[in-house]
Amino acid sequence: MSFQSYKDLEVYKLAHKLAVELHTITLSLPKFELYEEGSQIRRSSKSISTNIVEGFGRRRYKAEFIKYLVYAHASCDETIEHLELLYETKSLKDKNTFDEFVAEYDKLGRMLNKFIQSVEQTHLVKRDE
């Protein structure tokens, strides 16, 4: 694994893109949800990419890198839960929007799992040449 920047990571790119899209969608929630569930889901979705960034910044220390990737994964699960709550309470009415976001966050969760496994197995391993 040799990346110059967190911006080179596909998992970061997807997390960032989804956070921006979800932020925009939540601004059209009913007024009473803007500062309740809307605020919570905006924070959890943004937490995914920011934890990837912070972990990448600490990548010199394998355990720190993994810790922040695990935080990112937990925030991904939290975001899915917020989406489900919004949909089930009918604050998010569009089933296609709901389904698309859940599918994308599920994909992101799988990517984070694979990335964590990769870091656990190969990060800073000295290779005999």
Q: If you classify domain 6-121 with CATH, what class do you get?
A: mainly alpha
| Cα gap 40→119, rounded to integer Å | 29
| Identity of the amino acid at 61 | Y
C-alpha to C-alpha distance for 110 and 4, rounded to whole angstroms? 23
Contact by Cβ (8 Å): 26, 42: yes
Which pLDDT tens digit goes with each residue over 30-64?
999 988 999 999 999 999 999 999 999 999 999 99
Domain chopping of the chain, boundaries: 6-121
pLDDT band at 127 (very low <50, low <70, confident <90, very high): very low
CB atoms within 10 A of CB 74: 16
Cα dihedral sign, 91-97-99-100 = negative
Whether the per-residue pLDDT at 126 is higher than 60: the answer is no
- Residues 72, 66: Cα–Cα separation, whole Å: 10
In three state form, how does the secondary structure of the chain look? CCCCCHHHCHHHHHHHHHHHHHHHHHCCCCHHHHCCHHHHHHHHHHHHHHHHHHHHHCCCCHHHHHHHHHHHHHHHHHHHHHHHHHHHCCCCCCHHHHHHHHHHHHHHHHHHHHHHHHHHHHCCCCCCC
pTM: 0.90
